[in-house]
Structure 1
Amino acid sequence: MMVRMTVALTQAVVEIERHVSAFGWDQPARLYALVDTAALVRSEPQLAKDLGLAVEDGAATTLTPIEQDEIPAETPVDEFLAGIAWPDAVAGCAIVLERLMLPPAAEAEMPSAGSDEEIAAWVAARPDRQEVRIAVGVLRDGTRESVLRLREKDADSEVLSGSELVPGLAEALKATFE
């Protein structure tokens, strides 16, 4: 069962990132509840019908992403996530957001002091910065998956994936279940 849920999480995170990418860049952060599709079909048959969901006997485990209310732009994501609690029916959650990233070598040059705004301005001014869309999902048991798309490679649909690409964000999502 664990392997099936891990595969289902990977599929859900990839699906969510593709969905958001269809809207282009410069999108707000988006939060999703991940529910077991079979459980959703059983417990909410009308909703499942409205969503076009059906589960065949013996079918692979899948997760259905359900987008949540908008994350307020003025609220830092970590603060917003700290106020989230999920009902038991939610098997996991995922978030998609856009950020600027620097290569690891730039970390040594980062100012050690300064406000968040000053550091953000420093990052934005760097010629080696990369604009990225990050999608991270976690299950209640801590299983995680991440997908990262570089804006400069958007046209070729190339994404990076892995469970440890954005560990801090994954931990913040995991904390919403504790």
Structure 2
Amino acid sequence: MSDVSHTLSGDGRPPAATPLTRAALEIDEYAATLGWDLPARLFALVDSAQLRRTDPGLAKQLGLADQEEPGLTPVEQDELPAGMELDKFLGTIAWPDMVAGCALVVERLMLPPNAEQSRPKNATEAQLADWVANHPDRQEVRITAAVLRDGKKEIALRLRSKDVAREVLTGPDLVPGLTEALLATFS
């Protein structure tokens, strides 16, 4: 597991309103340093104060020992199994009690809402994927979906064509299917 607990600063953006939003943006910024065309990445979100109390050695290793602010510490999990569908993989996850939430980074192609009008009728999944991949209005995006056990959710969405931190869109309902799938890992 690797830690992503660096602080975002110096880019002129206002601080995020909630710890979950901050965690999603922190993970997005980390993913941005790795580049594009990468497999999905999964993170456990751990309450930073609880981590300092229960495991001071690990907190020190993650650079949290001297911090006092509350928040969530993203801890990257092992690589997702190659070739396994994301939905099936998420169905195999069981988080320990110490994990307050989780986050997933995935890259996808998205179309604007008006593209739905030209969607091929009765197309197979493969045909739809091909249609999206070849659509002239497609956008490559990196989605960072983050959720907490209590149902809170946040998305950070970065367009490849606007690959700068100040252009990252956030909101809890940008990709509801993905956040619902992550919330299901806590049931």
Q: TM (normalized to structure 2)?
A: 0.86
- Give the 3-state SS of the residue equivalent to 2:65 in structure 1: coil
Shift of 1:111: 2.6
Equivalent AA in structure 1 for residue 95 of structure 2: W
Q: Distance in 1 between matches of 2:36 and 2:166?
A: 13
Tell me, yes or no, if structure 1 residue 93 matches structure 2 residue 102.
Answer: yes
Q: Distance in 2 between matches of 1:47 and 1:97?
A: 27
Shift of 1:114: 3.5
- 1:127-156 per-position Cα deviation (integer Å, ceiling 9, x unaligned): 100000000100001100001000001147
Change (3 A) 1:113 1:80: farther
Structure 1 stretch displaced more, 39-48 or 11-20: 39-48
Instruction: From 140, 144, 162, give the equivalent of 1:153.
Output: 162
State whether residues 37 and 55 of structure 1, in contact with CA within 8 Å, keep that contact through their aligned partners in structure 2: no
- Give the 3-state SS of the residue equivalent to 1:52 in structure 2: coil
**Fraction of identical pairs, as percent:** 58
Tell me, yes or no, if structure 1 residue 30 matches structure 2 residue 49.
Answer: no
| Count of matched residue pairs | 171
Instruction: From 120, 133, 144, give the equivalent of 1:135.
Output: 144
Where do 4+ consecutive residues of structure 1 move more than 4 Å? none
Structure 1 stretch displaced more, 74-83 or 130-139: 74-83
Equivalent AA in structure 1 for residue 23 of structure 2: A
Tell me, yes or no, if structure 1 residue 103 matches structure 2 residue 116.
Answer: no
State whether residues 38 and 55 of structure 1, in contact with CA within 8 Å, keep that contact through their aligned partners in structure 2: no
Unaligned runs of 5+ residues in structure 2 are 1-16
- 1:98-128 per-position Cα deviation (integer Å, ceiling 9, x unaligned): 0000001112322343433221111001010
Q: TM (normalized to structure 1)?
A: 0.90
- 1:6-40 per-position Cα deviation (integer Å, ceiling 9, x unaligned): 71111000000100110111111000000001111
Task: Name the counterpart of 1:67.
Answer: 76
State whether residues 78 and 172 of structure 1, in contact with CA within 8 Å, keep that contact through their aligned partners in structure 2: yes
Q: Distance in 2 between matches of 1:77 and 1:170?
A: 13
State whether residues 90 and 182 of structure 2, in contact with CA within 8 Å, keep that contact through their aligned partners in structure 1: yes
Shift of 1:55: 5.6
Change (3 A) 1:9 1:106: same
Tell me, yes or no, if structure 1 residue 43 matches structure 2 residue 54.
Answer: yes
Q: Distance in 2 between matches of 1:15 and 1:93?
A: 13
Tell me, yes or no, if structure 1 residue 54 matches structure 2 residue 68.
Answer: no
Shift of 1:60: 3.8
Unaligned runs of 5+ residues in structure 1 are 1-5
Q: Distance in 2 between matches of 1:145 and 1:26?
A: 23
Name the structure with the higher helix share: 1
